[in-house]
Amino acid sequence: MGQLRFQNRAFYQAGQPYRLLPFQFLQFSADRKIVVNEVGEYLFVSDHDFDAFVSHRLPPSSDIYLDLKGKHFLFDSDSPAPFEMLATKYRTKKAHLAGFTKLHIFVVSLRCEHSCQYCQVSRVSSNKSRYDMSPETASRSLDLAFRTPANEIKIEFQGGEPLLNFERIVQIIEEAEARSTAMGKAVEFVVTSNLALISDEMLLYFREHSVAISTSLDGPEFIHNANRPRPGNNSYQLTIQNIQRSRESLGYDKVAALMTATRLSLPHPHKIIDEYVDKGFQSIFLRALNPYGFAVKTSRSIGYTADEFLKFYIEALDYILQINRRGLNFVEIYAQLLLTRILTPFPTGYVDLQSPAGAGIAVAVYNYDGDVYASDESRMLAEMGDKQFLLGNVHTDSYEQIFGGRLLRHIVASSCVESLPGCADCAFQTFCGADPIFNYATQGDLIGHRPTSEFHKKNFAIIKHLLTLYHSDRDIRRIFWAWVHNIPASELTAEAVE
């Protein structure tokens, strides 16, 4: 029997000219473009190869031809397999739509004892109990929350300071748990609090009911106290003290912190990150100011441009990568969200990086007075006197009227990046998202104008920076994949990052 041998590559090539599949492209650097298809798969292609590709002149024997075919930029047969594969990947990318609204935010009180400079809520002083959610409003809001088709829902308590109406938190948790058992829906709880008022009784209750805590830590003491003043000027001291108490009671994994960058923060990215590392956190979310609520009134003193924030963000990210290179697993959350969209076929739960946007269909907000809003940001606009995004009220409107009405349909139609001007032909379309509430607040229109949009400017710059970093350094690739998988970089094999 003679020796069996493989034929050369040309023997296996298809015999007919190739055809193009949908994609977007961008001149990424002086001599190469990035091409991205409808499901987020991407390749860097030299200008020469790109011209040959779109002119149908690529040799089937070339490596770039096989790369483009393997990632569904071209097809060269009558087989339906490429389209079936693309359809599967597209469904995976849009999996966040399954189950409809999963996050339900209950604003149990507008009262607050802090006077944060960037507060997005038109808060009221702590003695005005008429701004607390009533027992009836809480129950009727739960009626709507449990009408969602989702089998798993999250209830988040916000304010003001929600601990000022702890009684209502207890009611909602216990009613939700009873409904969860009766209806077969899983439910989890998060309290967003400044922690200044947390007591041993509250911590014991949260431990018994597996309640997580999200708090604010803006950095070292001089930044935190300036950004988040309260009577006694001890906001930082109380926050650090009660983070530790909460961890001891609930566990480290049940206590998270968020920071918001003000003008005071921008010169100090290293100090802010060092604060998080020193206090035992394993991640940080570098958040920019939002144009809502009290933050609008103070924007002249604490605000900044998109370019100034991007300079801060890139310097902070570089420092975080230095920390990771030294062996400490420390994650920047916004980069993690974007990298998940760039490097994997999976969506994220972050409502601002979805298409259509998550307002109303991923998150709903039940205000203290029963008004229902499409997002926390639209509730903040309402507190400023603009109720453009009021979906209805739990006391007067049905689930169908609130979640199936014309307003929510309009929001959804205005936030599909695949059809928005300036987004439809953007190479980063599948990595990004839409924020119609932000567009309305800053540009007076749900769709907005991309060339002057700060949302676009920030996301475009960060996505391009992440791609540049990822393809420039093997160590960074390892770190980024560790962030995506939520594991230490040391656990990744060499093959996993190639």
Q: What is the pLDDT of residues 328-371, one digit of tens each?
A: 999 999 999 999 999 999 989 888 899 999 999 999 999 999 99
> What structural domains and CATH numbers belong to the chain?
16-93 (no CATH), 100-403 (3.20.20.70)
- Using CA atoms, how far residue 392 sits from 414, 440, 480, in Å, is 19, 19, 42
Selected residue with higher pLDDT from 482 and 111: 482
Tokens standing for residue 498: 């190639």
Of 194, 185, 187, the residue nearest 213 (C-alpha): 194
Q: Give residue 303's pLDDT.
A: 84
Which pTM value belongs to this model?
A: 0.92
Selected residue with higher pLDDT from 236 and 299: 236
Characterize 181-194 residue by residue with b for buried, 16 or more Cβ atoms within 10 angstroms of its Cβ, and e for exposed: eeeebebebbbbbb
- Other Cβ atoms closer than 10 A to 491: 11
Selected residue with higher pLDDT from 124 and 171: 171
pLDDT tens string 189-219: 999 999 999 999 999 999 999 999 999 999 9
- Using CA atoms, how far residue 369 sits from 55, 72, 163, 483, in Å, is 61, 51, 17, 40
Could you tell me where the DSSP H helices lie in 97-254?
A: 135-145, 166-183, 200-208, 221-227, 235-250
Q: Give residue 204's pLDDT.
A: 98
Q: Give residue 238's pLDDT.
A: 94
What's the rounded Cα separation, in Å, for the pair 327 and 91? 37
Characterize 313-322 residue by residue with b for buried, 16 or more Cβ atoms within 10 angstroms of its Cβ, and e for exposed: beebbebbbe
Residue whose pair of structure tokens reads 């996993």 in the numeric block: 496
Q: Give residue 293's pLDDT.
A: 56
pLDDT tens string 258-272: 999 999 999 999 999
Residue 222 has pLDDT above 80, yes or no: yes
| Count of H-run helices and E-run strands, the chain | 19, 16
pLDDT tens string 81-102: 889 999 999 999 999 888 899 9
pLDDT tens string 264-297: 999 999 999 999 999 999 999 999 988 765 555 5
Residue whose pair of structure tokens reads 């997580």 in the numeric block: 212
Selected residue with higher pLDDT from 442 and 43: 43
204 pairs with which residues across the strands?
none
What is the chain's mean pLDDT, rounded? 91
Using an 8 Å Cβ cutoff, are 172 and 207 in contact? no
Q: Give residue 391's pLDDT.
A: 97
Could you give the percent of the chain with pLDDT greater than 90? 77
Residue 124 has pLDDT above 60, yes or no: no
* DSSP type of residue 162: G
Q: Give residue 290's pLDDT.
A: 80
pLDDT tens string 397-434: 999 999 999 999 999 999 999 999 999 999 999 999 99
Q: Give residue 227's pLDDT.
A: 87
Q: Give residue 14's pLDDT.
A: 47
- Using CA atoms, how far residue 58 sits from 25, 38, 52, in Å, is 17, 21, 5
pLDDT tens string 376-393: 889 888 888 889 999 999
